[in-house]
Amino acid sequence: MPRDLHLNLFINSRGHHEAAWRHPGATPRALTDIRYYQDLARAAEAAAFDSIFFADHLALGDEAAHVAKGQLEPITTLAAVAGATTHIGLIATASTSYTEPFNLARQFASIDHISGGRVGWNIVTTWLPEAGRNFGEAKQTPHAERYAQADDFLDVVKKLWDSWADDAVLDDREGGRFADPARIRRFDHQGPHYQVAGPLNLPRGPQGRPVLVQAGSSDTGRGFAARHAEAVFTAHLEKQAAQGFHADLKARARAIGRDPSQILVLPGISPVIAGTEAEAQRLQRELNELTDPAVGLARLSARFGGHDFSHLSLDQVLRVEDFPDPATVQAAQSRAAVITALVARERPTLRALLHSLSGARGHFSLAGTPEQVAAVIEDWFTTGAADGFNVMPPVLPALFDAFVAEVVPILRRRGLFRQGYSGTTLRDHLGLRRPDSQFFPATGIAAAA
236 is in an annotated binding site: no
The residue among 233, 236, 214 whose CA lies nearest residue 225 is: 214
Contact 17, 392 (CB under 8 A): no
93 labeled binding residue = yes
Listing DSSP states for 126-174 in one string gives: ---HHHHHHTT--SPPPHHHHHHHHHHHHHHHHHHHHSB-TT-EEEETT
Q: 171, 177, 164: which is closest to 205 by C-alpha?
A: 164
Report how far apart, in Å, the C-alpha atoms of 316 and of each of 23, 312, 320, 348 are.
Answer: 28, 7, 13, 8
* Cβ atoms of residues 94 and 126 within 8 Å: no
The rounded distance, in Å, linking the Cα atoms of 346 and 340 is: 10
Facing residues of 189 across strands?
196
The verdict on whether residue 301 carries a ligand-binding annotation is no
Among residues 405, 338, 386, 395, the alpha carbon closest in space to that of 367 is found at: 395
| Helix, strand, coil percent values for the chain (each to nearest 5) | 45, 15, 40
Write the burial class of residue 259 (CB in 10 Å: 0-12 exposed, 13-18 middle, 19+ buried): exposed
Spatial CB neighbours of 143, under 8 Å, sequence gap ≥ 6: 127, 218, 220, 329, 330, 331, 333
Say if residues 44 and 9 touch (Cβ distance below 8 Å).
yes
Q: Is 98 annotated as a binding residue?
A: no
Q: How far is CA 264 from the centre of its chain?
A: 12
162 carries a ligand binding annotation: no
Type of residue found at 378: E
Burial class (CB in 10 A: 0-12, 13-18, 19+), 277: middle
Q: Tell me if 147 is assigned to a ligand binding site.
A: yes
Q: Does an H or E element contain 281, and which? A: helix 277-289
Q: Is 239 helix (H, G, I), strand (E, B) or coil?
A: helix
Q: Show binding-site residues for FMN.
A: 56, 93, 143, 147, 217-218
Annotated binding site: 56, 93, 143, 147, 217-218
